[in-house]
Every structure is written in structure tokens, then in C-alpha cells.
Amino acid sequence: MTEPDSRRARPSLYEFAGGEQAFLALAAATHERCLQDPELNHPFSHGLSPRHVENLAAYWAEVLGGPPRYSNVLGGHSGMLTIHAGQGAPDEMGDRFETCFIRAMDDAELPDEPEFRRALSDYMHWATREVNSYAPPGARVDPNQPMPHWSWDGLQEPPPRP
């Protein structure tokens, strides 16, 4: 008899983090760190939705294995990319955001488990590059971008379209 594959029974990153409350705490902590950053302060202190923290939490939660609230209400991945497209952000802003996110994991008291932290850090590294690829002025977003899904093993291939 073979032993069960423990990876199959593993909770999603969303569940392991602590669910909705953990992602709200992470989004709030990341936002606060961005406000303290001299380069990120301006974009994070002007013109954001009053629900920015909740929307950010919903997006990350969905990508990392949580419910599809962002897709159901805010346009999914295409909606998120459209918000950032054409803003002309330099590459270092993505690196600065990534640093804020990584440090905010401690602020939000997410589990201090190395594999979990690595998975989230890897996700954010990928995500900042994805968003920055749409930063040049005039960038256009395909309205049917599939929502990315990230697991313990990294980016998961989207299911084939019917």
C-alpha cells in the first residue's frame, strides 16, 4: 500500500494564511507600508478607491485559492490590469511594492512557515512583473485575461477555454 500524497491534501495558500481576515490584514499592512515608502506614497495616497484595501485583499485571496469575489464584482484579472495599464510606472516601483508586500507578511502575522512565505514571495515577484508589463503608456489589456491561480507549486496553468 502506498502512502497518500500529502501535497494533494494540502490546504490552499489562502486557507493556510488564515482566509479572508488574513488577506484583509495583509492588504492593510501592505498599503500602510506603501504609504511609508517615499516612491510609493504618492500613488497610494491619491485617487484610490475607498475600498482599495478590501479590493486588494479580494484579488490576492482569489489568486491564492480563495473565493472568486474579485472576478465576480471587479472584472477579474483584466479588471485589475486595466487599473494599472498605461500608468508608466518604472520597474523599481514593482520591486518596492514587492518589498512592502514581503515585509507586510510579518505585520499581518501570516504564518512564518518558510515554504508558505516563499510561495507568496514568488507570487508577488511574478505579479509585479506582470503588472509592470502593462505600465507603458498606451498599453492595452485583453478583456478576457484568465485569472491567475497560484499554489504551493507556483503559477497554475489556466484551464483550456471551451
Q: Is the pLDDT of residue 25 over 80?
A: yes
Name the pLDDT band for 124 (thresholds 50, 70, 90). Answer: very high
Phi (first) and psi of residue 131, to 5 degrees: -65, -45
Q: Is the pLDDT of residue 142 over 80?
A: yes
For the chain, percent of residues with pLDDT exceeding 90: 73
Which domains can be identified in the chain, with CATH numbers?
Answer: 13-153 (1.10.490.10)
Name the pLDDT band for 157 (thresholds 50, 70, 90). Answer: confident
Cα gap 86→89, rounded to integer Å: 8
| Of residues 29, 13, 27, the one with CA closest to residue 104 | 29
Name the pLDDT band for 1 (thresholds 50, 70, 90). Answer: very low
Rg (CA), the chain: 16
pLDDT in tens, 68-95: 999 999 999 999 999 889 887 777 889 9
pLDDT in tens, 32-70: 999 999 988 877 777 778 899 999 999 999 999 999 999
Residue 3 has a pLDDT of: 45
Residue 100 has a pLDDT of: 97
Q: Is the pLDDT of residue 99 over 80?
A: yes
Average pLDDT along the chain? 90
Residue 2 has a pLDDT of: 45
DSSP H helical segments within the chain, as ranges? Answer: 13-17, 20-36, 41-45, 52-63, 69-74, 76-84, 91-107, 114-132
75: which 3 cell numbers? Answer: 472584472
| Of residues 9, 3, 4, the one with CA closest to residue 152 | 9
Q: Is the pLDDT of residue 5 over 90?
A: no
Q: Is the pLDDT of residue 7 over 60?
A: no
Residue 8 has a pLDDT of: 59
